[in-house]
Structure 1
Amino acid sequence: MPAPSGRLLPACLLAAAAALALSGCSSSGDTADNDKGEPPVSGIKKITATAGLAFPLDSYERSDTETSQLDRAQNVLVERCMKRYGFAYDAPDPLAPTRSQPNAKVFGLVDARTAARYGYAEPPRSSGIPQKKPAPQLGATGQQVLAGPDKKHAKGGGSTAKVPMSLADSRTRKSGFVVNGKDVPIGGCSREAFLELYAPKADAVDVMYVFNLRAESESRALSDSRVKEVTKAWSGCMAKAGYTTSDPASVSRDLGIMDDARNSTKAIAAAKADVRCKTEVNYSGIRYAVQSAYQKRLIDKSAETLELLKKQSQERLRRAAELTA
């Protein structure tokens, strides 16, 4: 997902934070490293709002509603696993669907009304469906069952450093940490539940696959001569307005507008100039055209894996529907 600045987080960092990706930091796999030419673009449109903007890779992404259903299903599997070891674990409900328009800030701040009202601050969001209370605090053993035994407790060669990549893989390995006469899975019930839903077999496509393609398309677009040119034009426009900044993703930082000052009078004035300059040079229109072109190229090169991903996504949703019925 886009970071608040509008730029994607590095795939490796997100994978590490989630600690659930099938492989921590992988490349897109099917793409050719030596494919460095700039793809042609045509019919560049004037874009002044990016909320709801559709990218070629969007069709391979889950909707908020689907993500919420998968999260609930995963919770069911975690609770079942914990019960095997004698723990009545009540997993916290996942966040309700945000109902926000996708890609609203994919290129940073572009909406004039938002800039005039909030500056660089995030507009308030509805809390959605209230979450139930967090699950009761687990003791040391319960935590080991939930998250997996650490190196101190893993005696059979298993450790949190070598987590299984599929449920089939998990079934063939032991952690050496036994609770109630049963070996706790490497990675615990959380990992087992994830694998059961997302990677029951070894051929499962990495859940980060599309994200990595997105990150690659963005990286290539930012290095593209056409994007560099429009970024330079935007920077020149900002300079004329009295603001020294060279990157639309770091305007508030460049101008020293941080934290609580993001919706100050100074921030609002800068945000309005930022949006005005993006509109003047058609920054969003050119970024969209170029980035979409790179995504289409990556889709062509990754067609086989993406087709498999679509099939596996349908299977996961069917399984999730069964678990949450």
Structure 2
Amino acid sequence: MPPVPPPRPGTALPLDRYRLSPDEQARSDRAQATLERACLTRFGLRWEGPGESALEIGPRSISSERAARFGVVDRDQAARHGYHAPPWSTRNPRVRALLAKYHHDTPPDVEKALYGLAPEYGGRRVPEGGCRAEAARQLMAGVPQADRSLPNRLAEQAVAASAQDPRLAAVLRAWTSCMERAGHRYTSPETAAHDPRWKDEKPPTEAERSVALADVRCQEEIRYLPTLIDVTAQHQRELIGRHATELGRLKRLEETRARNVAEALSAKPTAPSLPAEGEWDGSA
């Protein structure tokens, strides 16, 4: 699976610092898996999962979102894939199917204790929600109350405000004129990307690639991307200022959780804790 390209320099946004980075998500997912395996050893269960492919889902999703959040802005991508999700993106159906396949590959005996499908396993009480829920609770131990969905909601509000901003409206008019000169009639890069002709999941047509390439060339000509980033960043900063208290709580939550993640990753693995002789007859 191709690696996700790094975001373009200068495309970071103010709200990014309130959301997990790909590396932070990777550490969190590994800590979760470490705690799950430690829990399972209490039931005499050995599990090597989740595998590397399953652990790649979270970080790759964040990387893909950040690399693609401004739409198609790269000439090479436009010429190769049009508006279709490239082969590195979790928006690509083949990538999603491959990652999901590995993500759900769990042995039946492990599932009972991992997901809490039975109240007991091997004579021992299964924690509420199973080892997965127990691990999640350990990673959230001691964190303050905070709304973890707030950054995404504020980002959506900033996008809506940007769409009404006269600075962005001006460059969109210039982009539309540029596209008309190239023989394409669209009101924005978004409307071009969502042309019904590109809906199916078949390889992109020559027409789609041609429109996407003209789109990117026009974006470059009128400096669409720098304007979009500047306008979006300004609206995000305004929203951050209005929600400083809530975002401060969220920052403290993530800092506490990061310490829990570090502690979980630094803990020494324990040997399986098997039931005493006569305590378990071997059936779950």
TM-score, scaled to structure 1: 0.62
Percent identity between the two aligned chains:
31
Partner of 2:20: 62
Aligned amino acid, residue 149 of structure 2: M
1:122-165 CA-partner distances (Å, limit 9, x unpaired): 444499xxx9x7786433x753543345xxx8xxxxxxxxxxxx
* Alpha carbons 1:107, 1:249 under 8 Å: kept: no
The answer to whether 1:138 aligns with 2:107 is yes
Aligned residue runs from structure 1 range 82-121, under 5 A: 82-93=40-51, 94-95=55-56, 103-121=66-84
1:5-39 CA-partner distances (Å, limit 9, x unpaired): xxxxxxxxxxxxxxxxxxxxxxxxxxxxxxxxxxx
Aligned amino acid, residue 107 of structure 2: L
Shift of 1:68: 1.0
Aligned residue runs from structure 1 range 265-280, under 5 A: 265-280=206-221
- Paired with 2:67 and 2:8, the residues of 1 have a C-alpha distance of 4
- Cα distance change on mapping 1:118 and 1:138 into 2, 3 Å: closer
- Paired with 1:217 and 1:121, the residues of 2 have a C-alpha distance of 25
Structure 2: where are the runs of 5+ without partners? 1-6, 90-94, 267-284
Aligned amino acid, residue 47 of structure 2: Y
Query: SS at 1:104's partner residue?
Result: helix
- Paired with 1:88 and 1:256, the residues of 2 have a C-alpha distance of 50
- Paired with 1:237 and 1:310, the residues of 2 have a C-alpha distance of 43
The answer to whether 1:317 aligns with 2:274 is no
Partner of 1:295: 236
**Which has the larger helix fraction?**
2
The answer to whether 1:78 aligns with 2:78 is no
Shift of 1:74: 0.6
* Count of aligned residue pairs for this structure pair: 243
Query: SS at 2:197's partner residue?
Result: coil
The answer to whether 1:51 aligns with 2:51 is no
* Alpha carbons 2:15, 2:155 under 8 Å: kept: yes
- Cα distance change on mapping 1:302 and 1:195 into 2, 3 Å: farther
| CA RMSD between the two structures | 3.5
* Alpha carbons 2:43, 2:121 under 8 Å: kept: yes
Shift of 1:282: 2.8
The answer to whether 1:238 aligns with 2:179 is yes
- Cα distance change on mapping 1:148 and 1:222 into 2, 3 Å: farther
Query: SS at 1:260's partner residue?
Result: coil
Q: Which has the larger radius of gyration?
A: 2
* Alpha carbons 2:143, 2:253 under 8 Å: kept: no
- Paired with 1:116 and 1:272, the residues of 2 have a C-alpha distance of 6
- Cα distance change on mapping 1:181 and 1:217 into 2, 3 Å: farther
Structure 1: where are the runs of 5+ without partners? 1-49, 154-176
Partner of 1:9: none
Query: SS at 1:91's partner residue?
Result: coil
- Paired with 1:202 and 1:125, the residues of 2 have a C-alpha distance of 34
Aligned amino acid, residue 105 of structure 1: A
Tell me which moved more, 99-108 or 242-251.
99-108
Aligned amino acid, residue 78 of structure 1: E
- Paired with 2:151 and 2:203, the residues of 1 have a C-alpha distance of 35
* Alpha carbons 1:73, 1:324 under 8 Å: kept: yes
Shift of 1:86: 4.8
Aligned residue runs from structure 1 range 172-321, under 5 A: 177-180=119-122, 184-197=126-139, 199-201=140-142, 203-254=144-195, 256-257=197-198, 258-262=200-204, 264-321=205-262
